[in-house]
Each structure stands twice: as structure tokens, then as C-alpha cells.
Structure 1
Amino acid sequence: VFQLLTDLKQQRKESGKNKQSSGQQNLNTIMYETLKYISKTPCRYQSPETVRNFLIAMKCHKLTK
């Protein structure tokens, strides 16, 4: 999620589109608050490879929902 929001923010910055409708302002607020929160958590440093390795390591424990 962190990477997706970071990429979306960068794309919007590069395209120069800054529509300021109320819906757009709400989206901007949600993106800002989410990025602010996520950047303070360990998930900021996770990569797809790290998650994949974790899932492989946990597979032998046969955990369920």
C-alpha cells in the first residue's frame, strides 16, 4: 500500500493535474494521512521478496485464519 500510494503521488505530481474538487480534496487528505501513518510503521521497509520469504517460512506451521 505504501508503494502504491507513493507511486500515485509521484504520478500526480509529474502530470501536473491538481483538480481541487471536494472529492479530490478528500482523496488528497486520505492519501496524505495514510502515507503519514504507514511511513511510521515497519511496513515501509518491506519488499515483495521479504513478504514472500516470510510466507514461505510460516508455511510449515500450517496456520489457519
Structure 2
Amino acid sequence: MVQVGWVRKDANAAMLSNYEVFKLLTDLKEQRKESGNKKHSAGQQNLNTIMYETLKYLSKTPCKHQTPEIVTTFLRAMLPQRLTKW
């Protein structure tokens, strides 16, 4: 289980919102920029492409403008709805 900011993530047990994916990839991109490592394996190049394409897509959606507070407010508003599993 990984604690990232205010959200607890367990890749085996949780779905991530677009906001969480956008934030996670943006943070990872910044970390890579700061490390300055420019040599990449073929697998790393594939991962970079996936990250780029995903960030490109998500940056055109409302999640780019969301904050943890907005997401928390939404989730609290949805609690009374007691959504059922699909």
C-alpha cells in the first residue's frame, strides 16, 4: 500500500480517478526531470510514451483543474447515495 499525499492507494484493491492518475503521473514526471537521467531502456521508452499520451489526454479534461478538496467534497456528497457495485 502506498500513501501519496492525501490519498491511500493499493494498486491491487482500488480504482483511481482521473484526477489521481493525472496527479500521480505529473508528480512522477517532475521527479524524473529532477533526477536528470536521460538514458532509457526500450521498456522505459514505452512507459514514457504511455505517460505522455495519458497526460496529454487527461490535460484536456476537467481533472486538470481539480484539487483534493474538490474530490473530497464530491465523494462526501455521494455517500448518501450508497451506490451499489456493478
TM, length-normalised to structure 1? 0.88
Between the aligned residues of both structures, percent identity stands at 72
**Secondary structure in structure 2 of the residue aligned to 1:20:** coil
| Equivalent residue number for residue 80 of structure 2 | 60
| Higher strand fraction (1 or 2) | 2
- Larger RCO (CA within 8 A; separation ≥ 6): 1
Gaps of 5+ in 2: 1-20
Distance 1:63 1:6 in 2: 30
Counterpart of 1:8? Answer: 28
Following superposition, the deviation at residue 63 of structure 1 comes to: 2.2
Aligned length, in residue pairs: 65
More helix by share: 1
Q: Structure 1 runs of 4+ off > 3 angstroms?
A: none
1:2-58: per-residue Cα shift (whole Å, max 9, x none)? 111111111111111122210010011011000000000111111111111111112
1:23 pairs with one of 28, 35, 43? 43
Equivalent residue number for residue 32 of structure 1: 52
